[in-house]
Every structure is written in C-alpha cells, then in structure tokens.
C-alpha cells in the first residue's frame, strides 16, 4: 500500500478532541524523545505512531464493537436531533468575569470546532442587553410608522405570506475582539473572535414593507428599528441601506429563528455590526434624521486617540482569523498540518487570504473554499509542514474593494488602544516547540 508522502500530524483540539488522554500521553512522551534525536525524528514523521499500531493489530479494528453486532436505536427516538454525546465539549461559552449579570452578557461561538461557513443555530453566539425571551409568535406584532402614507401593523402570519428570500450572511458584534485592544487578554479563538456567526437567514426585504406602507420618498432619510425586549434596543439605519439588502427575518438555517437570536422576528443588516440586527423586532419608524438613541450615543461609539468619539461607525471591515491551529490547541506531531480559518468583510466578498507562519515576514496565499459569498464567512485552508521549531501563525484578508486587513501597529496608529469596537487587526498565534499554541501580539 502506498503511503502519502507526508503523514498528517495530530492535533489536540481545544476544548474537545478525538484523542484519548492515553493517546495524547503516548505521543507527548514520544515527541520528547523525538526532539532529542533528529534522526529518530525523521523516521518517526514518516512512520507515525498510528501506522505502527495498525501493523501490530489495532483493537479498534480487530474487535467487533457492540454497534456492529446489535440492533441500533429506532427512528424518531429524538424527534429533534441533537449532537453526539462525544461532542459535548463543543458549546457556547461565557467569558468568566466579563459581565456582572448573565442576562446582560455574551456567549461566544466555538469557532475552533466548526467546519465550513455555517454556524449551527444552537452554537450561534448570543448577545443580550437584558436577557432573552421565548415570545409567542401569535401575539407578536411589527408596526411600521413615521414618514409613511399609512402606518401598518403586521402579524407573523401577514409577514410570512409575503415573498421571502434566503441569504447567507455573517453577523459580528462590533465588540468582537474588543478585549484585545490594549494587549492579549483571552486564550482561545472562541473568546478572541467568537462574537461571530454565519447563518442562512430567511425573511422579507425591508424595502417590500416600506413600499407597502408608502414611504415619503422626499422626506424619509433614516429608519429606526426597535426590539420588544426590556432593553429598548433601538438603532438608526440610513434609508439607502434599509432599501438595499436589509431583511425582516424569521428563518435561520432552514427553521424559525432560535429564541436567543430573536424569535420570532429580527432585523438582518448584512455587513453591519451586530447591534443593528435588532432582535424580537416590533417597530420600524421612518424619519428624516438619526435618533441618537442610547445605544448609538453612549455605547457603540469608537474612542479615538485624541479623546473624541466616532459615532455611527457600523460597517464590519475586512477581517480574518486562523481557527486551527489556534490558542489552547496543541500540535502533537511535526509534519503536515492543515491551517484553516475564516475571513469576512462587511463591504462585500473576500478576494484573497494570505497566511504567514513566521510572524509576517513571508506570506503564502491560502485556498478560498467555495462558496465565497458577499458579506458572509469564507473558509480558507492552506497546507503546512511543521518542522518542530517555534512559529507565529497569522492570516491577512483582502476584500473585493482592495482593502487589506491591518496589523496591530497600523490599526493602533489610527485608533489608539482604548477603543472597544471594530478591532479587525491581524491575529497572531504562537506555536511553541512543545506544540502548544497561545495568543500573542507581535506588533
């Protein structure tokens, strides 16, 4: 049987993994010897411990497991399917100590354990200002008022009979990576970048509802979106954007929205920071000037180095991150590793992602996996052979406007270090000789 020229190295994923503690121990012990002896190292890479075990007779192959000899469980035992018991480590997590009240907090998506570009609905990050509710759709209403010929109130049934569209888009909280402005703050990609998710959303274009109510095209310049939760979340959206690609959505990944994500109705504002994606949407008002609501006057503003604030900055600029290998993971073998990550831009499509393994001195262009969609996550992959020496892994994305993701030095020159929002700097992961990966900032 012919062997691939380079055997893929093993990785202990954080926080979940496919290796038993015994296997990890075995490899770790082997690697320490291996690092002492370059000659042994070369042959060990070619052979690999897994191959050796197969030749001796791997019990996982030779002994028939119970599932091969017994009747399996019946259909519809779980009328709504749930993940395997072996995947229980893959979950949304709250960053300990980040917020004082769990209802006004955030849970981060486990980006390190996801494939492709779609975030499973149960793992979509959550950000609530005053907790979530499971609202009865039969009692939910959407009012459209203000500078319109006729103010209207829609039931869910009214809305869901209108012509709908389905679009795949990312949503990123403006505060994503916000803890890292000053310096390294959190260990894993779940916490550095996990206020990010991507779903297929289904709903009616907001332009259809505005046409239905007859907006005053001469006077109308902005719309206000209002949520039905206790936080009175209200956000101003310029009319040209509202008429462009904004959706009033009830669908997420082929089913109704999850309560945590705004069931039964939320606004989808592609490319724009998450706070404008008002959940439990109950009102759209058409007006002629911005409202300067609390969440656009004192929060979600960018503190600049000269002490002034930028207001109404809302586009999520081009950004990327390597999700594997990433902070908290351990490379257990030298040799081949697939570097994989996500790139996105609030302005359009990802055009290119370059990857460096030496802290930004040299760059290679990664493969963009299809589909590459506008204002959606794009998955990138690149082959890499780790020779066992320390490395700094980075990805740098470019979008179809030609904008290139900045490094920390470039971003801080313009934005300083005391901001919270819109940190799209290049992320660095340090790979130590031991195989451990950690979060660092190299400039």
Q: Detail the DSSP E strand segments found in 141-195.
A: 141-146, 152-155, 165-172
14 vs 278, beta carbon nearer ligand MTE: 278
129 vs 334, beta carbon nearer ligand MTE: 129
Instruction: Name the residue among 399, 252, 409, 199 with its Cα closest to residue 316.
Output: 399
The span from the CA of 427 to the CA of 281, in Å, is 34
**Residue nearest ligand MTE by beta-carbon distance:** 227
In whole angstroms, the minimum distance from the beta carbon of 437 to ligand MTE comes to 26
276 vs 407, beta carbon nearer ligand MTE: 276
Structure tokens at 202: 């289904």
CB-CB contact of 172 with 316 (8 Å): yes
In whole angstroms, the minimum distance from the beta carbon of 228 to ligand MTE comes to 7
245 vs 295, beta carbon nearer ligand MTE: 295
285 vs 333, beta carbon nearer ligand MTE: 285
121 vs 438, beta carbon nearer ligand MTE: 121
224 vs 339, beta carbon nearer ligand MTE: 224
103 vs 153, beta carbon nearer ligand MTE: 103
In whole angstroms, the minimum distance from the beta carbon of 272 to ligand MTE comes to 10
In whole angstroms, the minimum distance from the beta carbon of 96 to ligand MTE comes to 19
> How far, in whole angstroms, is CA 356 from its chain's centroid?
21
In whole angstroms, the minimum distance from the beta carbon of 128 to ligand MTE comes to 4
CB-CB contact of 249 with 203 (8 Å): yes
Can you state the angle between helices 38-47 and 21-36, rounded to 10 degrees? 140
50 vs 131, beta carbon nearer ligand MTE: 131
Residue 133 region by backbone torsions, left for phi larger than 0, else alpha for psi between -120 and 50, else beta = beta
Instruction: Name the residue among 367, 348, 319, 134 with its Cα closest to residue 245.
Output: 348
In whole angstroms, the minimum distance from the beta carbon of 274 to ligand MTE comes to 3
In whole angstroms, the minimum distance from the beta carbon of 400 to ligand MTE comes to 25
Backbone angles phi, psi at 136, to 5 degrees: -70, 115
Structure tokens at 197: 């998710």
Torsion angle in degrees (nearest 10) through CA of 314, 318, 324, 325? -100
Residue 292 region by backbone torsions, left for phi larger than 0, else alpha for psi between -120 and 50, else beta = left
In whole angstroms, the minimum distance from the beta carbon of 121 to ligand MTE comes to 10
Provide the β-strand partners of residue 130.
none
Structure tokens at 255: 């089913």
DSSP-derived secondary structure letter, 90: -
Spell out the residues 6+ positions from residue 162 whose beta carbon is closer than 8 angstroms to its own: 204, 208, 209
Provide the β-strand partners of residue 94.
107
148 vs 171, beta carbon nearer ligand MTE: 171
Spell out the residues 6+ positions from residue 353 whose beta carbon is closer than 8 angstroms to its own: 320, 341, 343, 365, 366, 368, 378, 380, 395, 396, 397, 398
In whole angstroms, the minimum distance from the beta carbon of 276 to ligand MTE comes to 7
Contact residues: ligand MTE, CB under 6 A: 124-129, 171, 173, 227, 229, 231, 233, 260-262, 274-275, 277-280
CB-CB contact of 326 with 11 (8 Å): no
Q: Quick one: how many helices (H) and strands (E) in the chain?
A: 10, 26
In whole angstroms, the minimum distance from the beta carbon of 244 to ligand MTE comes to 19
In whole angstroms, the minimum distance from the beta carbon of 386 to ligand MTE comes to 35
148 vs 233, beta carbon nearer ligand MTE: 233
């Amino acid at each position: 049987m012919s062997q691939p020229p380079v055997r893929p190295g093993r990785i202990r994923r954080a926080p979940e993994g496919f290796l038993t503690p015994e296997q990890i121990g075995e490899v770790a012990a082997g690697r320490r010897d291996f690092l002492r002896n370059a000659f042994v190292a070369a042959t060990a890479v070619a052979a690999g411990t897994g191959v050796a075990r197969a030749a001796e007779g791997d019990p996982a192959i030779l002994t028939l497991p119970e599932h091969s000899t017994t009747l399996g469980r019946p259909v519809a035992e779980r009328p709504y399917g749930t993940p395997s018991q072996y995947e229980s480590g893959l979950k949304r997590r709250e960053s300990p100590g980040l917020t004082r009240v769990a209802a006004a907090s955030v849970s981060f998506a486990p980006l390190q354990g996801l494939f492709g570009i779609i975030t499973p609905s149960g793992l979509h990050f959550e950000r609530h200002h005053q907790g979530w509710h499971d609202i009865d759709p039969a009692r939910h209403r959407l009012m459209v008022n203000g500078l319109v010929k006729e103010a209207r109130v829609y039931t869910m049934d009214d809305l869901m009979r209108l012509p709908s569209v389905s679009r795949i888009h990312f949503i990123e909280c403006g505060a994503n990576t916000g803890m890292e402005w000053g310096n390294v703050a959190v260990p894993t990609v779940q916490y550095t970048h996990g206020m990010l998710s991507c779903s297929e959303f289904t709903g009616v274009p907001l332009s259809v509802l505005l046409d239905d109510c007859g907006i005053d095209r001469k006077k109308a310049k902005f719309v206000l979106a209002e949520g039905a939760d206790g936080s009175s979340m209200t956000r101003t959206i310029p009319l040209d954007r509202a008429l462009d690609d904004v959706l009033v959505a009830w669908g997420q990944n082929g089913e109704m929205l999850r309560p945590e994500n705004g069931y039964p109705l939320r606004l989808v504002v592609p490319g724009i920071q998450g706070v404008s994606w008002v959940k439990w949407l109950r009102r759209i008002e058409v007006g002629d000037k911005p409202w300067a609501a609390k969440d656009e006057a004192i929060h979600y503003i960018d503190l600049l180095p000269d002490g002034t604030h930028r207001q109404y900055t809302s586009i999520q600029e081009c950004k990327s991150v390597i999700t594997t290998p990433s902070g908290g993971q351990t490379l257990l073998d030298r040799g081949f590793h697939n570097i994989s990550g996500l790139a996105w831009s609030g302005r359009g499509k990802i055009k290119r992602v370059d990857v460096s393994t030496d802290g930004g001195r040299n760059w290679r262009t990664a493969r963009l996996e299809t589909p590459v969609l506008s204002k959606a996550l794009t998955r990138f992959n690149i082959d890499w052979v780790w020779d066992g020496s320390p490395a700094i892994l980075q990805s740098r994305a470019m979008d179809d406007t030609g904008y290139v993701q900045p490094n920390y030095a470039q971003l801080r020159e313009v934005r300083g270090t005391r901001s919270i929002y819109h940190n799209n700097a290049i992320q660095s992961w340090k790979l130590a000789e031991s195989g451990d990966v950690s979060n660092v900032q190299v400039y």
